[in-house]
Structure 1
Amino acid sequence: MNIWKIAFFGLLGIIIAGVIALVLYLDSPKESEPLPTYERTARGSVLSIKATKKDLESLANTYIQRAMKGEALPVTMIIKEDVILVSKLTVFGFTLPVIMNFDPVVLNDGNLLLKQSSLEIGDFNFPPSTVLEILRDTIDLPEWMVVRAKEEEIFINLSELPVSGDILIKAKSFNLKEDDIELEVTIPNK
């Protein structure tokens, strides 16, 4: 048999094996971090704060920007009827817009869990867990945002937001349809 035919079929086999390995890698998300089980408690004066979607959107993007320490903002949060994270993903040299929709859930400890409801990546169809895994691995997100790709959710640890002093923030209600967002802020007494 001609040496060039052997080389061609050998190279073709390597390329096919590489594509299959890439698809298998992208289709199997790694284990997610467990949700933090501790609950930070603060004693002091408790204030109940009502916020609108616009207020919360502005606050969230400000904290994300501070956590990025002046770098370009990789993720923008938009709050409408649900929570929308907008980012960009570069795949094989192409930059694609990524739009992820989440339904917010207030946990018993006052933190937020964003459960993914839909996903758009240009005209391509990727599994949501794969996109969240790529987002987690390629973007240096703040410590208080934990991406759990396998569960298709993002945990927002409000108790770890870097606010001044020992101020503690908890979510009480999060009804976006009614534009009724209530936060509880505990300011320690000296």
Structure 2
Amino acid sequence: MKWKILFFSLLGINALMIVLLLFYMFQPFPSPNIPNIKGEGPTFTVQTSKQHINTLIRDYIQKHKKEGELSYDVQLADRLYITSAIPIFGKQVDLKMAFDPNVDESGNIILAHPTMTFGRLRLPVSYVLAYIEKHASLPNWVKVDAKKERIYIVVSDILIKKGYMLKAKTFDLSKDDMTFTVTITK
């Protein structure tokens, strides 16, 4: 009689183990906690130099120059320089503007602390910037603020390719360190 009790106890334990095994087998596996990121896609950091940016600027100017417009050149050195020559009385007079570029918290470049000369004559900055703001055909990503004597380059509005957004991270001419982030928005 003792063997019957042990047999049914062992049978009950085995049945309980099978029921528990089947119960845990059919339970859903908890998924790992992965945050759902919406909006921005992957971001890449691109570091470049003054020489490479000068090449990009020169190519952009040549590609977008319209017939009959005043020719100009943009050069990164110790400051950002914009130079041109304006014909007056049959003679070319040099126009030179110099700016200190900085990056704001939104990833845009601010051209500040300008100096402007026409030949050897120093020009009032606010008047020249007001004239440029009214009469120059600038890209939509260049904003002139004559009152604050600044030019804003809205880097995120520069169209690289649809679905890509650009922001400036650093723009240090003295260290030759220009860093941008490229985010894939699609």
Counterpart for residue 119 of structure 1: 116
The answer as to whether partners of 1:77 and 1:86 remain within 8 angstroms in 2 is yes
Measured in 1, the distance between the counterparts of 2:62 and 2:129 equals: 20
Please say if 1:77 is aligned against 2:77.
Answer: no
Question: Taking CA–CA contacts closer than 8 Å with sequence separation of 6 or more, which of the two structures ends up with the larger relative contact order?
Answer: 1
- Which of the numbers 97, 104, 125 marks the counterpart of 1:100? 97
Distance 1:173 1:114, change over 3 A: same
Q: Which residue of 1 aligns with 2:176?
A: 179
> Counterpart in 1 of 2:154?
157
RMSD: 2.5
State the secondary structure of the residue aligned to 2:121.
coil
1:151-188 CA distances to partner (integer Å, 9 max, x unpaired)? Answer: 11110011111221121010111111010111101123
**Structure 1, unpaired ranges of 5+:** 1-40
Q: Which of the pair has more CA radius of gyration?
A: 2
Same amino acid, percent of matched pairs: 30
Q: Judge which range, 56-65 or 78-87, deviates more.
A: 56-65
Letter in 2 for 1:173: T
Distance 1:42 1:161, change over 3 A: farther
Q: What does 1:15-164 correspond to in 2, within 5 Å?
A: 43-68=40-65, 72=69, 74-89=71-86, 96-164=93-161
Match of 2:13 in 1: none
What is the TM-score normalised by the length of structure 2?
0.69
Question: What is the one-letter code of the residue matched to 1:141?
Answer: L
Aligned length: 149
Change beyond 3 A, Cα 1:84–1:186: same
Per-residue Cα deviation, 1:2-27 (whole angstroms, up to 9, x for no partner): xxxxxxxxxxxxxxxxxxxxxxxxxx
Superposed displacement of residue 64, structure 1: 4.1
Aligned amino acid, residue 95 of structure 2 = V
Q: What SS does the corresponding residue of 1:132 show, helix, strand or coil?
A: helix
What residue ranges of structure 2 are gaps of 5+ in the alignment? 1-37
Separation in 1, partners of 2:78, 2:178? 12
